[in-house]
Amino acid sequence: METGDYCLAENPGLVIERKAPGDFLACVGQSRQRFERELARARNLAGFFVIVEADLADLDRIRGGLSMEAVIGSVAAWCRRGTPVLFASNPRTAAALAWRILAQPAEEVAKLAARIQRGRAIVATI
């Protein structure tokens, strides 16, 4: 796949990008331009979700030289531009969340993505 990590063959336009904590922090920092190019490619998809295998407290503990303001500001900007960023507390929960998103009927995922973009859905850390 050119963009993202997971999709189902019957709905290749719905894509999940899964990020380990360190990889996600790199997307905020040194690898941001590469990640922004991926997000630009994702705009052509029916649905694109980023799932981070950590919560914000985990990221705060390992963020290195990045400020939490930069992390939170980046997440807010990506969400405003139409890419939901979901935080799962561990890889197993991230996998379960990815599967649930991919397994839902496409029209339900599109409705959820639209509500997130309009700010009418609450996405919480799991």
* CATH code for the structural domain at 6-117: 3.40.50.10130
**Residue extents of the structural domains in the chain:** 6-117
The residues, any chain, with a CB within 8 Å of residue 98's CB and separated by 6 or more, are: 6, 16, 18, 49, 51
pLDDT, tens digit (0-9, with 9 covering 90-100), for 22-53: 999 999 999 999 999 999 999 988 889 999 99
What is 57-110 written as a DSSP string?
HHHHHH-TT--HHHHHHHHHHHHHTT--EEE-SSHHHHHHHHHHHHHS-HHHHH
Q: Is the model more confident about 110 or about 24?
A: 24
Global confidence as pTM: 0.81
pLDDT, tens digit (0-9, with 9 covering 90-100), for 2-13: 788 888 887 788
Q: Is the model more confident about 59 or about 125?
A: 59
